[in-house]
């Protein structure tokens, strides 16, 4: 959720201070002034060791209003120990808002590519920590935006969203399986003309394909307390100071000039799993990008799951999967791919036992597939008699991510 933002060229002074036991480092007087132009180089990186005014600017002295219950202050953006800290604090006594927030944004505009940030969000009711791209009427553009937002009330989840010409309501809440506020992880999205795919620690977790934004936007990061959105964020409990930590950011341009369908984005995107009704001993449930597979008290046969690829991949070289092995003493997977002519090729086998429960990830390389692949075949077995392992014959596994690529 966002509202329209203003662009301001600022002069920034960050002071050394201690508030509530949190020490903010001394920094220099900084000036930000640059042309707002489309970034054309292949890579754009920030290490957050210090502020680079040739690349970024710091919002200061104004408020978005609405649900943003703060005024942006340059003193809330700090660089210390090779990280950037965006903070929520008390605001000045004569301010129109009680709280101050922080916003950091690029001078240039960015288009299709991979956006990745390594960060730790704030864990606290009523606040948001973010990475997003944004442009709008203040730039003479439609309101286009792509979001990664952490709601401080529950940092075991991350929210993805986007706006196209002001039309939003595309929120998707992804369960991370860990608390993002406790350690650094990498979050990102790949923006293409026909899709946005969000990633967590390098693995795709959700893809949107409808009404995708097309206008270049600025890279932005901010933290703020909300007002009037208690059902979304929970009420802000007035705890300050609060800080989100940003370790690094990287943008990698994707050149689509040769045509989007000509192999410049060589991965399968979202995989939609289904199973034949004949395999009724297995149950399949879908929740967004995750699929749950489970069965109990059966000792016969394999289940054949078919994964229909969002995008066909020609001559793939790798299959990457992320599974959550929840229950059962053994889970065996035989993995095949099927080309557009119906030919099947086995590419590998994996097996997990109860000693390996939880999140399991693997990447299977292969170099003998020639042709265009349209489906993945996943053969699931929890039959201990075929596997000569333990006696229980049940399993419960969540297929979190699957990616066929080259």
Of 103, 149, 375, 398, catalytic? 149
- The kind and range of the H/E element at 273 are strand 271-275
Is 245 an active-site residue? Answer: no
Q: Is 385 helix (H, G, I), strand (E, B) or coil?
A: helix
User: Radius of gyration (Cα) for the chain, nearest Å?
Assistant: 24
**Nearest one of 118, 400, 142 to 271, comparing CA atoms:** 400
Q: Are 152 and 233 in contact (CB under 8 A)?
A: yes
Paired sense of beta strands 172-175 and 157-163, if any: antiparallel
The first and second tokens of residue 249, run together, are: 């950011």
Q: Which of 57, 145, 245, 375 is catalytic?
A: 145
DSSP-assigned letter for residue 38: B
Report d(CA 213, CA 195) in Å as an integer.
9
Alpha carbon distances (Å) from 169 to 66, 230, 237, 276, 344:
18, 17, 27, 33, 40
Cα 58 to Cα 41: distance, rounded to the nearest angstrom? 23
The answer to whether the CB of 58 falls within 8 A of the CB of 29 is no
Note whether 44 and 92 are within 8 A (CB). Answer: no
Mention every residue, 6+ apart, whose C-beta is less than 8 A from residue 318: 363, 364, 365, 366, 404, 405, 406
Is 149 considered catalytic here? yes
Cα within 13 Å of Cα(59), Cβ side: 24
Catalytic residues: 145, 149
């Amino acid at each position: 959720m966002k509202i329209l933002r203003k662009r301001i060229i600022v002069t920034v002074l960050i002071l050394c201070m201690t508030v509530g036991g949190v020490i903010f480092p001394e920094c220099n007087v900084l000036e930000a002034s640059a042309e707002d132009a489309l970034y054309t180089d292949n890579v754009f990186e920030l290490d957050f060791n210090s502020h680079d005014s040739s690349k970024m600017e710091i919002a200061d002295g104004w408020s978005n209003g609405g649900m943003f219950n703060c005024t942006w202050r340059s003193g809330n953006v700090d660089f210390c120990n090779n990280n950037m800290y965006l903070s929520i604090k008390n605001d000045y006594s004569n301010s129109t808002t009680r709280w101050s927030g922080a916003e950091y944004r690029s001078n240039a505009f960015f288009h299709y590519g991979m956006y990745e940030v390594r960060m730790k969000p704030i864990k606290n009711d009523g606040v948001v920590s973010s990475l997003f791209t944004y442009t709008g009427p203040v730039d003479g553009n439609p309101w286009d935006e792509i979001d990664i937002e952490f709601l401080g009330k529950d940092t075991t989840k991350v929210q993805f969203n986007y706006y196209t010409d002001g039309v939003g309501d595309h929120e998707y809440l992804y369960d991370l399986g860990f608390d993002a506020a406790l350690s650094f992880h990498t979050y990102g999205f790949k923006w293409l003309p026909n899709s946005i795919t969000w990633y967590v620690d390098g693995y795709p977790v959700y893809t949107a394909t409808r009404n995708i934004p097309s206008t270049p936007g600025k890279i932005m990061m901010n933290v703020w307390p909300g007002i009037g959105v208690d059902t979304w964020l929970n009420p802000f409990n007035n705890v300050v100071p609060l800080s989100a930590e940003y370790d690094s950011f990287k943008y990698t341009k994707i050149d689509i000039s040769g045509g989007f369908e000509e192999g410049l984005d060589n991965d399968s995107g979202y995989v939609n799993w289904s199973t034949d009704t004949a395999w009724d001993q297995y149950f399949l449930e879908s929740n967004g990008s995750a699929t749950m597979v489970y069965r109990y008290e059966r000792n016969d046969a394999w289940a054949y799951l078919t994964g229909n690829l969002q995008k066909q991949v020609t001559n793939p070289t790798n299959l990457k999967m992320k599974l959550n092995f929840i229950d059962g003493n053994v889970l065996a997977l035989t993995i095949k791919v099927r080309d557009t002519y119906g030919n099947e090729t086995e590419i590998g086998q994996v097996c997990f036992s109860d000693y390996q429960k939880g999140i399991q990830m693997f990447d299977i390389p292969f170099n003998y597939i020639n042709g265009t692949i349209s489906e993945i075949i996943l053969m699931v077995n929890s039959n201990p008699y075929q596997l000569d392992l333990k006696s229980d014959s049940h399993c419960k596994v969540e297929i979190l991510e699957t990616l066929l690529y080259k």
